[in-house]
Amino acid sequence: MASCFIIYKDGRCFSRRWTGYDSILKIAINELQYIPDGIPLAQWLELQIPIENEELESDCGYGFYNARLNNWTNRYLDIRSLTPKNQILFWQAIEKGRMRLLEEGTAYSELNPDYFQAFYKMYQLSENDEPPMEYNDLGKIAEPCLHKNGPGWV
């Protein structure tokens, strides 16, 4: 059952199991380490997934109790809530991670490449201004984003 949500710039939604969501964010976190100015975003993204073997006891799929923040964290990332610069950094990291996943497979990530390709296809469709309802796991367009998340907002 779908328990995580990633919202793209056009409001389409990628929604799958939480394990895939965590793996996608881990790929972004890993690649952001090597992109100029990517470390603050990587550090923030690390707070959006549980620490393995530490916070998993409170994990219920769609979210977990985040001891680092002393708060509940839902597995919901609206890319539109990031600064414009961080949106670019996130997608640069995803593109680099995609190449590594395709080349290195499970030596790079436990994530199934087909799962990642479905996520990446939505990104491409969003970037190409394709109708967001043609490929959308939520079945509707997400509401406009009114939140500002991640580093860099003043």
> pTM of the predicted model, to two decimals?
0.93
Contacts of 80 (CB under 8 A, 6+ apart): 7, 8, 9, 87, 145
pLDDT in single tens digits along all 154 residues of the chain: 567 999 999 999 999 887 899 999 999 999 999 999 999 999 999 999 988 766 566 676 778 888 888 889 889 999 999 999 999 999 999 999 999 999 999 999 999 999 999 999 999 999 999 999 989 999 999 999 999 999 999 8
Measured CA distances, 40 to 32, 86, 99, 112, 139 (Å): 9, 9, 23, 27, 33
